[in-house]
Amino acid sequence: MTAPARAKTSSRLALAACAALAAAMTIACGADFYEIPIETPIQPKLDVTAFQRVFVAGFVSGGTEDVDANQETVRLLRSQLRTKSQLKVIDADILPLIDVAQEQAKPAGDDAGPSAQSPMPLPARIKDEKDLEQYERLFANTAYWKKIGEEFESPLIVTGTVLFTPHSRAGMVTREQEVIDAYGRHRVVPIRTYMERKGFILVPKFVFIDGRSGSQMYSERHREEILYNAAQNTPALSSYFELMDRIVPDFLSALSSQKIRGTRVLLK
């Protein structure tokens, strides 16, 4: 064998050894990551162990007249609590909270003349968040809520405000469109178009009241919106439920422990 031929053979051998080593290391190491499903337990935000019953009393609602947001919210929350919490749900008439708040806002006593200090009159029709804000003082009236609590054997009381308003927006949006290229192949390409869209905004605020004392324990506010193509005619009630679907898990997590499913990547 000549010298160049021997050198070629030896370099081939070295390469083969390298390849074998790399292969052996790959086999030994295997995959470097593993996807694994996990369930994250989330503790309730509120300690409700002192309560056996819950009373979804009613909501001060406003916005569109196409949906009775007070009635629909009470019905939805009661049915969710029945199946997804340990608390017994009290089935009672929904409280007309707008009337209650307006009654409470009237000046007390007959001797209250024009000079007497009276709170600002509440708007009869709630159109926006500013109108709704003026009703907030109802939830701070501990005497009223304590009385309601006594009526229903000191439950946890759920109340608050719900604003469900129509909404529209026009502007450039990116959407996907299927096109056929010169070779007859179907392709999906993003295109920017001007679009008029309409939909709804849902802004509920949940207030949790201790029925034993009438005091507020906790409150949380949410805001969700949805927009459809203006040509699409989606009923207001469908939109309301679509938006509430996004909010209900958060509402339930205030009262009962939840498990949130997901996947994570374990690494070697």
Number of residues that bind other proteins (CB under 8 A): 36
| Contacts (CB under 8 A) with other proteins, residues 233-252 | 250
Residue 113 lies near other proteins (rule: CB under 8 A): no
Which H or E element spans position 78?
helix 69-84
Estimate to the nearest angstrom the gap between the alpha carbon of 22 and the chain centroid: 51
Dig out the tokens for 151 from the structure.
Answer: 């009526």
Q: Which is nearer to other proteins, 18 or 170 (CB)?
A: 18
| Contacts (CB under 8 A) with other proteins, residues 199-238 | 216-222
Residue 68 lies near other proteins (rule: CB under 8 A): no
Residue 256 lies near other proteins (rule: CB under 8 A): no
C-alpha dihedral sign at 11, 17, 18, 19: positive
Q: Which of 23, 40, 153, 237 binds other proteins (CB under 8 A)?
A: 40
Region of 39-47, 71-79, 171-179, 232-240 interacting with other proteins (CB under 8 A): 39-47
Distance CA 254, CA 260 (A): 14
Q: Which is nearer to other proteins, 7 or 50 (CB)?
A: 7
Q: Which of 7, 140, 179, 191 binds other proteins (CB under 8 A)?
A: 7
Residue 10 lies near other proteins (rule: CB under 8 A): yes
Nearest Cα to Cα of residue 68 among 101, 99, 100, 96: 96
Query: Rounded to the nearest whole angstrom, what is the least distance from the CB of residue 190 to other proteins in the complex?
Result: 23
Whole-number Cα distances in Å, 57 to 51, 152, 155, 173: 15, 11, 11, 41
- For the chain, the farthest-separated pair of C-alpha atoms sits apart, in whole angstroms, at 125
Region of 32-40, 82-90, 115-123, 176-184 interacting with other proteins (CB under 8 A): 32-40
Residue 3 lies near other proteins (rule: CB under 8 A): no
Beta strand residue intervals within 104-223, DSSP E: 156-180, 186-210, 216-221
Distance CA 18, CA 65 (A): 76
Query: Rounded to the nearest whole angstrom, what is the least distance from the CB of residue 69 to other proteins in the complex?
Result: 20
